[in-house]
Copies of this chain bind each other. A is one copy, B any other.
Amino acid sequence: MPNMKAVIFVEKGRIVLDEKAIPDIGPLDALIRVTTTTICGTDVHILKGKYPVERGLTIGHEPVGLIEKLGSAVDGYTEGQRVIAGAITPSGHSYACLCGCGSQDGPGTKHGFKAMGGWKFGNTIDGCQAEYVLVKDAMANLSPIPDGLTDEQVLMCPDIMSTGFSGAESGGVRIGDTVVVFALGPIGLCAVAGARLMGATTVIGVDTVPERLAVACTLGADHVVDFRAGDPVEQIMALTDGRGVDVAIEALGTQGTFESSLRVLRPGGTLSSLGVYSSDLRIPLDAFAAGLGDLKIVTTLCPGGKERMRRLMDVVSAGRADLKPLVTHRFKLDEIETAYDLFANQRDGVLKVAITP
Protein backbone atom coordinates (compact mmCIF):
# COMPACT_ATOMS: atom_id res chain seq x y z
CA MET A 1 0.00 0.00 0.00
CA PRO A 2 1.22 3.54 -0.63
CA ASN A 3 1.60 6.11 2.10
CA MET A 4 -0.85 8.63 3.49
CA LYS A 5 -0.66 11.66 5.74
CA ALA A 6 -1.53 11.04 9.38
CA VAL A 7 -1.46 13.03 12.61
CA ILE A 8 0.80 11.19 15.01
CA PHE A 9 1.49 11.34 18.71
CA VAL A 10 5.25 11.60 19.09
CA GLU A 11 5.65 12.41 22.76
CA LYS A 12 4.14 14.59 25.44
CA GLY A 13 3.63 18.02 23.87
CA ARG A 14 4.18 16.85 20.30
CA ILE A 15 1.53 15.75 17.84
CA VAL A 16 2.74 16.10 14.25
CA LEU A 17 1.63 15.46 10.70
CA ASP A 18 3.63 12.62 9.21
CA GLU A 19 3.50 9.85 6.63
CA LYS A 20 2.31 6.35 7.31
CA ALA A 21 1.35 3.34 5.23
CA ILE A 22 -2.31 3.13 4.29
CA PRO A 23 -3.52 0.19 6.38
CA ASP A 24 -4.35 -3.25 5.03
CA ILE A 25 -7.78 -4.44 5.96
CA GLY A 26 -9.00 -7.76 7.28
CA PRO A 27 -12.24 -9.56 6.40
CA LEU A 28 -14.41 -7.63 8.89
CA ASP A 29 -12.82 -4.22 8.36
CA ALA A 30 -13.43 -1.28 6.07
CA LEU A 31 -11.02 1.35 4.84
CA ILE A 32 -12.48 4.84 4.92
CA ARG A 33 -11.11 7.80 3.03
CA VAL A 34 -11.57 10.61 5.53
CA THR A 35 -13.20 13.71 4.09
CA THR A 36 -13.73 15.63 7.35
CA THR A 37 -12.68 15.11 10.93
CA THR A 38 -12.12 17.21 14.02
CA ILE A 39 -10.08 17.55 17.20
CA CYS A 40 -11.51 16.55 20.57
CA GLY A 41 -10.67 17.70 24.06
CA THR A 42 -9.42 14.18 24.67
CA ASP A 43 -6.87 14.63 21.90
CA VAL A 44 -5.58 17.64 23.78
CA HIS A 45 -5.33 15.48 26.91
CA ILE A 46 -3.20 13.10 24.83
CA LEU A 47 -1.09 15.97 23.52
CA LYS A 48 -0.47 17.21 27.05
CA GLY A 49 0.50 13.76 28.24
CA LYS A 50 -2.48 13.51 30.59
CA TYR A 51 -3.91 10.49 28.82
CA PRO A 52 -1.23 8.02 27.74
CA VAL A 53 -1.21 6.43 24.28
CA GLU A 54 1.53 4.67 22.37
CA ARG A 55 4.06 6.72 20.51
CA GLY A 56 3.45 6.70 16.79
CA LEU A 57 -0.30 6.27 17.13
CA THR A 58 -2.52 8.20 14.74
CA ILE A 59 -4.82 10.46 16.74
CA GLY A 60 -8.51 11.29 16.15
CA HIS A 61 -11.81 9.52 16.64
CA GLU A 62 -14.45 11.47 14.74
CA PRO A 63 -14.46 10.27 11.12
CA VAL A 64 -16.62 11.40 8.22
CA GLY A 65 -15.67 9.92 4.86
CA LEU A 66 -16.14 7.58 1.94
CA ILE A 67 -15.84 3.82 1.88
CA GLU A 68 -12.63 3.14 0.01
CA LYS A 69 -12.52 -0.63 0.46
CA LEU A 70 -14.57 -3.31 2.19
CA GLY A 71 -13.32 -6.47 3.89
CA SER A 72 -14.20 -9.76 2.26
CA ALA A 73 -16.83 -10.63 4.90
CA VAL A 74 -18.47 -7.21 5.00
CA ASP A 75 -21.94 -7.15 3.54
CA GLY A 76 -24.52 -4.42 3.05
CA TYR A 77 -22.33 -1.52 1.94
CA THR A 78 -20.86 -0.27 -1.33
CA GLU A 79 -17.55 1.31 -2.04
CA GLY A 80 -17.82 5.06 -2.49
CA GLN A 81 -20.67 5.34 0.00
CA ARG A 82 -20.55 8.33 2.36
CA VAL A 83 -20.45 7.16 5.97
CA ILE A 84 -19.57 8.05 9.50
CA ALA A 85 -18.47 5.83 12.36
CA GLY A 86 -18.81 6.61 16.03
CA ALA A 87 -15.84 7.52 18.19
CA ILE A 88 -16.64 4.31 20.03
CA THR A 89 -16.68 1.26 17.79
CA PRO A 90 -18.21 -1.73 19.55
CA SER A 91 -17.51 -5.10 18.00
CA GLY A 92 -21.10 -6.22 18.33
CA HIS A 93 -20.05 -9.71 19.43
CA SER A 94 -18.38 -9.41 22.85
CA TYR A 95 -20.16 -10.33 26.07
CA ALA A 96 -20.21 -6.60 26.88
CA CYS A 97 -21.92 -5.75 23.60
CA LEU A 98 -24.48 -8.51 24.02
CA CYS A 99 -25.06 -7.20 27.55
CA GLY A 100 -25.98 -3.78 26.14
CA CYS A 101 -22.69 -2.25 27.20
CA GLY A 102 -20.78 -1.86 23.95
CA SER A 103 -18.67 1.07 25.08
CA GLN A 104 -16.95 -1.29 27.51
CA ASP A 105 -16.30 -3.78 24.77
CA GLY A 106 -13.56 -6.31 25.31
CA PRO A 107 -13.72 -8.89 22.53
CA GLY A 108 -10.13 -9.97 23.08
CA THR A 109 -10.38 -10.21 26.85
CA LYS A 110 -11.16 -13.22 28.93
CA HIS A 111 -14.64 -12.09 29.87
CA GLY A 112 -15.52 -9.75 27.08
CA PHE A 113 -15.38 -6.56 29.12
CA LYS A 114 -12.67 -3.94 29.06
CA ALA A 115 -13.01 -0.52 30.66
CA MET A 116 -13.37 2.00 27.79
CA GLY A 117 -12.63 -0.91 25.44
CA GLY A 118 -15.03 0.38 22.82
CA TRP A 119 -12.88 3.46 22.37
CA LYS A 120 -10.37 2.26 19.83
CA PHE A 121 -9.69 5.07 17.30
CA GLY A 122 -6.75 7.17 18.38
CA ASN A 123 -6.53 5.23 21.62
CA THR A 124 -5.68 1.57 20.98
CA ILE A 125 -5.66 1.61 17.16
CA ASP A 126 -4.84 4.28 14.60
CA GLY A 127 -7.38 7.07 14.45
CA CYS A 128 -8.86 9.30 11.79
CA GLN A 129 -6.82 12.47 11.71
CA ALA A 130 -5.39 11.02 8.53
CA GLU A 131 -6.25 10.53 4.91
CA TYR A 132 -7.50 7.03 5.58
CA VAL A 133 -8.73 5.15 8.61
CA LEU A 134 -9.38 1.47 9.13
CA VAL A 135 -12.72 0.71 10.81
CA LYS A 136 -12.92 -2.62 12.60
CA ASP A 137 -16.17 -4.56 12.72
CA ALA A 138 -17.40 -2.42 9.88
CA MET A 139 -20.88 -3.89 9.75
CA ALA A 140 -21.58 -2.79 13.31
CA ASN A 141 -20.12 0.64 12.86
CA LEU A 142 -20.46 2.20 9.42
CA SER A 143 -23.53 4.36 9.17
CA PRO A 144 -24.50 5.86 5.77
CA ILE A 145 -24.97 9.62 5.71
CA PRO A 146 -28.51 10.58 4.68
CA ASP A 147 -28.81 12.47 1.41
CA GLY A 148 -28.66 16.18 1.77
CA LEU A 149 -26.44 16.37 4.83
CA THR A 150 -22.99 17.91 4.51
CA ASP A 151 -19.89 16.58 6.22
CA GLU A 152 -19.96 19.41 8.72
CA GLN A 153 -23.56 18.75 9.61
CA VAL A 154 -22.73 15.22 10.75
CA LEU A 155 -19.27 15.96 12.12
CA MET A 156 -20.53 16.24 15.70
CA CYS A 157 -22.35 12.88 15.62
CA PRO A 158 -19.44 10.50 16.25
CA ASP A 159 -18.53 11.96 19.65
CA ILE A 160 -19.71 15.38 20.83
CA MET A 161 -23.39 14.94 20.10
CA SER A 162 -23.49 11.29 21.13
CA THR A 163 -21.75 12.06 24.40
CA GLY A 164 -23.70 15.22 25.14
CA PHE A 165 -27.07 13.66 24.41
CA SER A 166 -26.17 10.62 26.51
CA GLY A 167 -25.85 12.94 29.48
CA ALA A 168 -29.55 13.63 29.22
CA GLU A 169 -30.44 10.04 28.32
CA SER A 170 -28.48 8.40 31.14
CA GLY A 171 -29.90 11.01 33.48
CA GLY A 172 -33.36 9.78 32.56
CA VAL A 173 -34.67 13.24 31.68
CA ARG A 174 -38.48 13.29 31.58
CA ILE A 175 -41.10 15.75 30.39
CA GLY A 176 -41.24 18.57 32.91
CA ASP A 177 -37.79 18.08 34.41
CA THR A 178 -35.42 20.82 35.46
CA VAL A 179 -31.90 20.08 34.21
CA VAL A 180 -28.63 21.90 34.78
CA VAL A 181 -25.50 21.43 32.66
CA PHE A 182 -22.18 22.31 34.22
CA ALA A 183 -19.67 23.65 31.68
CA LEU A 184 -20.66 24.60 28.16
CA GLY A 185 -17.88 23.31 26.00
CA PRO A 186 -19.04 21.39 22.92
CA ILE A 187 -20.19 18.41 25.00
CA GLY A 188 -22.03 20.53 27.54
CA LEU A 189 -23.71 22.44 24.72
CA CYS A 190 -24.88 19.17 23.22
CA ALA A 191 -26.11 18.11 26.65
CA VAL A 192 -28.22 21.26 26.73
CA ALA A 193 -29.65 20.37 23.32
CA GLY A 194 -30.24 16.78 24.45
CA ALA A 195 -32.04 17.78 27.64
CA ARG A 196 -34.25 20.09 25.65
CA LEU A 197 -34.89 17.40 23.07
CA MET A 198 -36.10 14.97 25.75
CA GLY A 199 -38.65 17.34 27.22
CA ALA A 200 -36.94 19.18 30.07
CA THR A 201 -38.90 22.35 30.71
CA THR A 202 -36.19 24.24 32.54
CA VAL A 203 -32.67 23.89 31.19
CA ILE A 204 -29.92 25.81 32.93
CA GLY A 205 -26.41 26.18 31.48
CA VAL A 206 -23.42 27.08 33.64
CA ASP A 207 -20.20 28.53 32.28
CA THR A 208 -18.30 31.77 32.26
CA VAL A 209 -17.49 32.43 28.61
CA PRO A 210 -20.11 34.81 27.18
CA GLU A 211 -20.03 33.23 23.69
CA ARG A 212 -20.70 29.80 25.16
CA LEU A 213 -23.54 31.09 27.30
CA ALA A 214 -25.00 32.67 24.17
CA VAL A 215 -24.73 29.46 22.13
CA ALA A 216 -26.35 27.57 25.01
CA CYS A 217 -29.38 29.81 24.68
CA THR A 218 -29.70 29.10 20.96
CA LEU A 219 -29.47 25.37 21.69
CA GLY A 220 -32.22 25.39 24.26
CA ALA A 221 -31.06 26.74 27.61
CA ASP A 222 -33.78 28.68 29.41
CA HIS A 223 -31.35 30.21 31.86
CA VAL A 224 -27.60 30.63 31.96
CA VAL A 225 -25.51 31.04 35.06
CA ASP A 226 -22.13 32.71 35.01
CA PHE A 227 -20.25 31.22 37.92
CA ARG A 228 -18.00 34.27 38.17
CA ALA A 229 -21.09 36.23 39.11
CA GLY A 230 -21.51 34.27 42.34
CA ASP A 231 -21.73 30.77 43.75
CA PRO A 232 -23.40 28.71 41.02
CA VAL A 233 -25.10 26.46 43.56
CA GLU A 234 -26.80 29.45 45.14
CA GLN A 235 -27.78 30.85 41.76
CA ILE A 236 -29.31 27.55 40.68
CA MET A 237 -31.15 27.06 43.94
CA ALA A 238 -32.56 30.55 43.52
CA LEU A 239 -33.57 29.88 39.92
CA THR A 240 -35.39 26.71 41.02
CA ASP A 241 -36.99 28.49 43.95
CA GLY A 242 -35.15 26.26 46.40
CA ARG A 243 -36.28 22.97 44.91
CA GLY A 244 -33.11 21.93 43.14
CA VAL A 245 -32.85 20.10 39.83
CA ASP A 246 -34.03 16.68 38.74
CA VAL A 247 -30.89 16.00 36.71
CA ALA A 248 -27.48 17.65 36.85
CA ILE A 249 -25.13 16.96 33.94
CA GLU A 250 -21.42 17.32 34.64
CA ALA A 251 -19.55 18.07 31.41
CA LEU A 252 -16.10 19.16 32.47
CA GLY A 253 -14.39 16.64 34.72
CA THR A 254 -13.39 18.61 37.81
CA GLN A 255 -14.07 18.35 41.53
CA GLY A 256 -15.78 21.73 41.49
CA THR A 257 -18.34 20.92 38.82
CA PHE A 258 -18.88 17.41 40.18
CA GLU A 259 -19.51 18.70 43.67
CA SER A 260 -21.74 21.54 42.53
CA SER A 261 -23.73 19.06 40.46
CA LEU A 262 -24.36 17.01 43.56
CA ARG A 263 -25.29 20.05 45.65
CA VAL A 264 -28.03 21.29 43.33
CA LEU A 265 -29.87 17.96 43.08
CA ARG A 266 -33.27 17.63 44.65
CA PRO A 267 -33.60 14.55 46.87
CA GLY A 268 -33.97 11.59 44.54
CA GLY A 269 -32.19 13.41 41.69
CA THR A 270 -29.53 12.13 39.31
CA LEU A 271 -26.02 13.38 38.62
CA SER A 272 -25.18 12.36 35.07
CA SER A 273 -21.43 12.62 34.65
CA LEU A 274 -19.77 13.02 31.25
CA GLY A 275 -16.45 14.59 32.25
CA VAL A 276 -13.08 12.89 31.99
CA TYR A 277 -11.60 13.28 35.45
CA SER A 278 -7.91 13.53 36.13
CA SER A 279 -7.84 13.11 39.88
CA ASP A 280 -9.75 11.47 42.71
CA LEU A 281 -13.19 12.87 43.46
CA ARG A 282 -14.62 13.78 46.82
CA ILE A 283 -18.30 13.32 47.72
CA PRO A 284 -19.12 15.73 50.54
CA LEU A 285 -21.19 14.04 53.23
CA ASP A 286 -23.84 16.75 53.36
CA ALA A 287 -24.26 16.95 49.58
CA PHE A 288 -24.76 13.18 49.61
CA ALA A 289 -27.42 13.24 52.38
CA ALA A 290 -25.17 10.74 54.20
CA GLY A 291 -26.13 8.19 51.56
CA LEU A 292 -29.84 8.43 52.33
CA GLY A 293 -31.06 10.87 49.69
CA ASP A 294 -31.99 8.37 46.96
CA LEU A 295 -29.39 10.14 44.83
CA LYS A 296 -27.84 8.51 41.80
CA ILE A 297 -24.51 9.15 40.08
CA VAL A 298 -24.27 7.73 36.57
CA THR A 299 -21.36 7.94 34.17
CA THR A 300 -21.52 7.42 30.44
CA LEU A 301 -18.91 6.90 27.76
CA CYS A 302 -20.00 8.15 24.34
CA PRO A 303 -22.40 5.54 22.86
CA GLY A 304 -21.31 4.25 19.45
CA GLY A 305 -22.35 1.80 16.77
CA LYS A 306 -24.19 2.43 13.53
CA GLU A 307 -27.70 2.54 15.00
CA ARG A 308 -26.65 5.32 17.36
CA MET A 309 -25.10 7.23 14.47
CA ARG A 310 -28.22 6.74 12.36
CA ARG A 311 -30.41 8.21 15.07
CA LEU A 312 -28.17 11.21 15.62
CA MET A 313 -27.97 11.98 11.92
CA ASP A 314 -31.78 11.81 11.88
CA VAL A 315 -31.85 14.46 14.61
CA VAL A 316 -29.80 16.67 12.30
CA SER A 317 -31.87 15.82 9.20
CA ALA A 318 -35.08 16.60 11.01
CA GLY A 319 -33.74 19.93 12.18
CA ARG A 320 -34.25 19.05 15.82
CA ALA A 321 -30.88 20.42 16.89
CA ASP A 322 -28.78 22.80 14.86
CA LEU A 323 -25.19 22.19 15.87
CA LYS A 324 -23.64 24.23 13.06
CA PRO A 325 -22.66 27.03 15.48
CA LEU A 326 -20.31 24.52 17.12
CA VAL A 327 -17.99 24.43 14.12
CA THR A 328 -16.23 27.73 14.46
CA HIS A 329 -13.00 27.13 12.52
CA ARG A 330 -11.86 25.18 9.47
CA PHE A 331 -8.42 23.83 8.58
CA LYS A 332 -6.77 21.62 6.01
CA LEU A 333 -5.11 18.51 7.36
CA ASP A 334 -1.78 20.12 6.47
CA GLU A 335 -2.58 22.86 8.97
CA ILE A 336 -3.34 20.44 11.78
CA GLU A 337 -0.60 21.67 14.06
CA THR A 338 -2.01 25.20 13.88
CA ALA A 339 -5.43 23.78 14.55
CA TYR A 340 -4.18 21.96 17.66
CA ASP A 341 -2.54 25.12 18.87
CA LEU A 342 -5.74 27.12 18.48
CA PHE A 343 -7.95 24.42 19.95
CA ALA A 344 -5.71 23.46 22.85
CA ASN A 345 -5.42 27.07 23.92
CA GLN A 346 -9.09 27.84 23.39
CA ARG A 347 -8.25 30.88 21.34
CA ASP A 348 -10.52 33.00 19.17
CA GLY A 349 -13.73 31.65 20.69
CA VAL A 350 -13.10 28.22 19.21
CA LEU A 351 -15.67 25.52 19.92
CA LYS A 352 -14.87 22.83 17.33
CA VAL A 353 -12.69 22.83 14.24
CA ALA A 354 -13.37 21.03 10.95
CA ILE A 355 -10.30 19.36 9.46
CA THR A 356 -10.36 18.34 5.79
CA PRO A 357 -7.66 16.04 4.43
Residues of A within 8 A of B (CB): 26-28, 72-73, 75-76, 90-104, 106-108, 110-117, 119, 137, 139-140, 165, 169, 174-176, 194, 197-199, 201-202, 222, 241-244, 253, 266-268, 273-285, 288-301, 305-308, 310-312, 314-315, 317-318, 320
Contacts and interface: CB of A to CB of B under 8 A. Distances in A.
A76 B292 contact: no
A197 to B, nearest CB: 4
10 contacts: A106-B267, A114-B267, A201-B320, A273-B291, A277-B285, A277-B290, A280-B283, A282-B283, A292-B299, A296-B299
A117 B101 CA distance: 22
B278 A285 contact: yes
Contact of A175 (B114, B165, B268): B165
Nearest to A98: B307
A276 B292 contact: yes
Q: How many copies does the complex hold?
A: 4
A95 B293 contact: no
A112 B291 CA distance: 20
A301 B293 contact: yes
Contacts of A99: 268, 307
A92 B93 contact: yes
Given A95-B310, A280-B283, A291-B276, A267 B104 contact: yes
A104 B176 contact: no
A217 to B, nearest CB: 13
A306 B222 CA distance: 24
Given A98-B92, A315-B201, A294 B290 contact: no
Given A243-B111, A268-B96, A294 B285 contact: no
A14 to B, nearest CB: 23
B76 A107 contact: yes
A281 to B, nearest CB: 4
Residue of A101, A115, A174, A241 with most partner-chain B CB within 10 A: A115
Contacts of A290: 276-278
Nearest to A168: B175
A140 B112 CA distance: 11
A95 B266 CA distance: 12
Contacts of A104: 266-268, 293-294
A139 to B, nearest CB: 4
A108 B139 CA distance: 11
A299 B307 contact: no
B285 A115 contact: no
Contacts of A222: 318
A139 B139 CA distance: 14
B201 A198 contact: no
Contacts of A202: 314, 318
A270 B283 CA distance: 17
B103 A294 contact: yes
A4 to B, nearest CB: 25
A308 B175 CA distance: 10
